[in-house]
């Protein structure tokens, strides 16, 4: 079975990529699956593109094969784009999803429904030795809920209500989320590259 390394240590992402790539008959290996203890990559970029490229290029250089990386996050208009590229660490370097969610909800107290617009952004970078890094951005528009709902997904899913939905992303099934997510909207742009793997 063909394999691809995804330069992530995020279990939620790894699960979603495994499902996406299984449709192509490709096995996904995240950094959590590799025996080699890969040090955390410092995300010094100020954009999702910079961080995705940084992660893909560092891991591709280490293994000398093509590597995919995902930098993603939640962009909230009323918070001037926060948490953005700091989504994983919004409430601290522990990367605690519940603390991150609570911090967004606290910062959104008093913001009326019509001003709770937000979007998930996912940038996928494909880096390969000696080749120019490919970058693709996928977006999912929605609003920030008043309170968390649902057990599925990860991160901010419990407080993100996709446009044209009443349920939160975390109340959707994984299959429903994979139809509309920012990650899916980024992956579909890589279809030609994946077919050539």
Ligand X SMILES: O=c1[nH]c(=O)c2ncn([C@@H]3O[C@H](COP(=O)(O)OP(=O)(O)OP(=O)(O)O)[C@@H](O)[C@H]3O)c2[nH]1
Binding residues for Mg(2+): 42, 71
Distance (Å, whole) CA 53 – CA 128: 11
- The catalytic residue positions are 71
49 binding partner (options ligand X, Mg ion, none; Cβ < 5 to 8 Å by kind): none
Phi-psi region at 81: left, alpha or beta (left = phi > 0; alpha = psi -120 to 50): left
Contacts of 47 (CB under 8 A, 6+ apart): 85, 123
Q: Using CB under 5 A as the criterion, what x/- string covers residues 84-103 for binding Mg ion? A: ----x---------------
CB of 73 to ligand X, least distance (A): 4
Place of tokens 């937000």: 118
Q: Taking the CB of residue 166, how many other CB atoms lie within 10 A of it?
A: 7
Nearer to ligand X, 21 or 156 (CB): 156
What is the greatest pairwise CA distance in the chain? 52
Structural contact between residues 101 and 158, judged by C-beta atoms closer than 8 angstroms = yes
165 forms part of the interface with ligand X (CB under 6 A) = no
Count of residues making up the chain? 197
72 forms part of the interface with ligand X (CB under 6 A) = yes
Pick one of 4, 54, 59, 88: the residue that binds ligand X (CB under 6 A).
88
Pick one of 43, 77, 102, 176: the residue that binds ligand X (CB under 6 A).
43
**What is the contact surface with ligand X in residues (CB under 6 A)?**
8-10, 13, 43, 70-74, 87-88, 100, 120, 153-157, 181, 183
């Amino acid at each position: 079975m063909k394999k691809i390394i995804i330069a992530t240590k995020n279990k939620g992402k790894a699960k979603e990529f495994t499902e996406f790539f299984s449709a192509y008959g490709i096995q996904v290996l995240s950094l959590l699956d590799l025996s080699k203890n890969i040090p955390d990559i410092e995300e010094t970029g100020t954009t999702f593109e910079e961080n995705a490229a940084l992660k893909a290029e560092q891991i591709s250089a280490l293994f000398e094969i093509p590597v995919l990386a995902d930098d993603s996050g939640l962009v909230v208009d009323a918070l001037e784009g926060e948490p953005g590229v700091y989504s994983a660490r919004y409430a601290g370097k522990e990367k605690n999803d519940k603390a991150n969610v609570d911090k967004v909800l606290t910062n959104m107290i008093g913001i009326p429904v019509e001003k709770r617009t937000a979007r998930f952004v996912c940038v996928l970078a494909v880096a390969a030795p000696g080749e120019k890094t490919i970058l693709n951005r996928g977006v999912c528009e929605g609003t920030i809920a008043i309170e968390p709902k649902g057990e599925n997904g990860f991160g901010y899913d419990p407080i993100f209500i996709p446009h044209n939905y009443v349920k939160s992303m975390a109340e959707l099934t994984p299959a429903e989320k994979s139809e509309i997510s920012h990650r899916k909207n980024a992956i579909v742009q890589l279809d030609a590259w994946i077919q050539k793997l």
